[in-house]
Amino acid sequence: MRPRMVFVGAGAVGGYVGGHLARLGHDVTFVDAWPAHVEATRAQGLRLTGLTEPENVTVQVPAIHVTDLQSLAKDPRGIDVAFISVKSYDTAWATAMIAQYLAPGGFVVSLQNCINEATIASVVGWDRTVGMIAATLSAELHAPGQVMRTVPLGTGGRTVFYLGEVHGRVTPRVGMLAEMVAGIDTVKVTRNLWGERWTKLCVNAMRNGISAATGLSGNDCDRDPRIRRFMLRVGGEAVRIGQALGLALEPVLTIPPETLARAGEGYAAALAAAEAVVDGLLAGGARSNLQRPSMGQDMLKGRRTEIDFINGHVVDRATELGLSAPANAALVAVVKRVERGETPPRPELIAGINL
């Protein structure tokens, strides 16, 4: 029997992954808090678009409002896999909401930015918690019932998805999920979930808050030399904190971790190497000009950002270790000013930071 899967949060990432799993014939149900999105998906299906014609499909996926969640109790099987794909600040309540409908062997997958496995485990237990990282996926919920992918399939040979257990062992359940996800794009079962998580956190730290603060797309941020240098400083700090935590980091945007850390510290050779990688990503079309990091999308929509759970998390862990992350702290402060409406997003907010 096919596992019964529910996506709590059918936005950019949850909608993309869940929609394509439904396209492949898997048993998927969406639960979402945006009424217009649920109603549009019910009425016309979920419209998935991408950069190539085969990606442009409409799939029929059952979608329910959060207020109708109790209808899941009508199926005695329970939920085998619950994907949490909400913003990090909503993780605890979303997990608690879905936990009561899990089948006896059911488990919860964090398919989110940031590092939320501990929050999920506090509700359902570590034994029912799995991590899934959308490492090189970029997508946007640009209208009710419409999700657009803004990077090429395969992203230039880099792995798009990672699945891992919190204890690092390879288990049948992550193997099962990997087989499913392989029908969407490249996937790897990792024994290094925490290292991969922090590596993605470094990417998000470099890109999300800066897009939110400047109002620029990802590519436009990369093209501005002032913003690029600050981005590398932010990423380098995040690498150093990850190293201090004892994590085995992977390349960040294909930049070796130590190179990125030294680039952020101003070492000329490392800085040149890191900037060459960014130039190569731009020239190679790894991201389309439509790509806008998720916090940049949130700011345009007037939504709360995840700055406290990305750059703020780097700062918090640094403080715990007796270290500092001044560029990340400065970015948190700037994004919060924009978020509160004290200033409009503009490039000068980043270019004017002096550390």
Residue 10, C-beta contacts closer than 8 angstroms, at least 6 positions apart: 18, 30, 31, 32, 37, 38, 41, 46, 61, 63, 85
Task: Evaluate whether 226 touches 350 at the Cβ level (below 8 Å).
Answer: yes
Per-residue pLDDT tens over the stretch 174-209: 999 999 999 999 999 999 999 999 999 999 999 999
Contact criterion met (CB below 8 Å) for 282 and 223: yes
Give the pLDDT of residue 289.
Answer: 60
Give me 317's structure tokens: 């862990």
Residue 182 CA, chain-centre distance (Å), reads 18
DSSP label of 54: G
- Closest C-alpha among 95, 134, 94, 110 to residue 293: 134
Provide the percentage of residues in the chain whose pLDDT is more than 70.
97
d(CA 144, CA 252): 33
> Where residue 284 falls among pLDDT bands split at 50, 70, 90?
low
- At 355, the pLDDT band (50, 70, 90 cuts) reads confident
The count of C-alpha atoms lying within 13 angstroms of the C-alpha of 230, restricted to the half-sphere facing its C-beta, is: 27
Asked, colleague to colleague, whether 4-191 and 196-351 share their fold, the answer is: no
Domain ranges of the chain: 4-191, 196-351
3-state secondary structure of 23: helix
Rounded to an integer, what is the distance from CA 236 to the centroid of its chain? 19
Q: Hey, what are 262's tokens?
A: 């030294």
Average pLDDT in the 213-237 region?
90
Q: Average pLDDT of 243-261?
A: 95
Q: How confident is the model at residue 295 (pLDDT cuts 50, 70, 90)?
A: confident
In this prediction, residue 245 carries a pLDDT of 98
- As a whole number of angstroms, the distance between CA 63 and CA 217 comes to 31
Q: Strand order in 146-149's β-sheet? A: 57-59, 46-49, 146-149, 139-143
Q: Provide the whole-model pTM.
A: 0.94
For the domain covering 196-351, report its CATH number. Answer: 1.10.1040.10
Look up the CATH superfamily of 4-191. Answer: NAD(P)-binding Rossmann-like Domain (3.40.50.720)
Check residue 281 and give its pLDDT: 72
Give the tens place of pLDDT for each residue, 1-32.
799 999 999 999 999 999 999 999 999 999 99
Contact 214, 349 (CB under 8 A): yes
Mean pLDDT over all residues of the chain?
93
pLDDT of 287 reads 58
109-126: per-residue pLDDT in tens?
A: 999 999 999 999 999 999
Give the pLDDT confidence score for residue 279 in this predicted structure. 80
Helix (H, G, I), strand (E, B) or coil at 45: coil
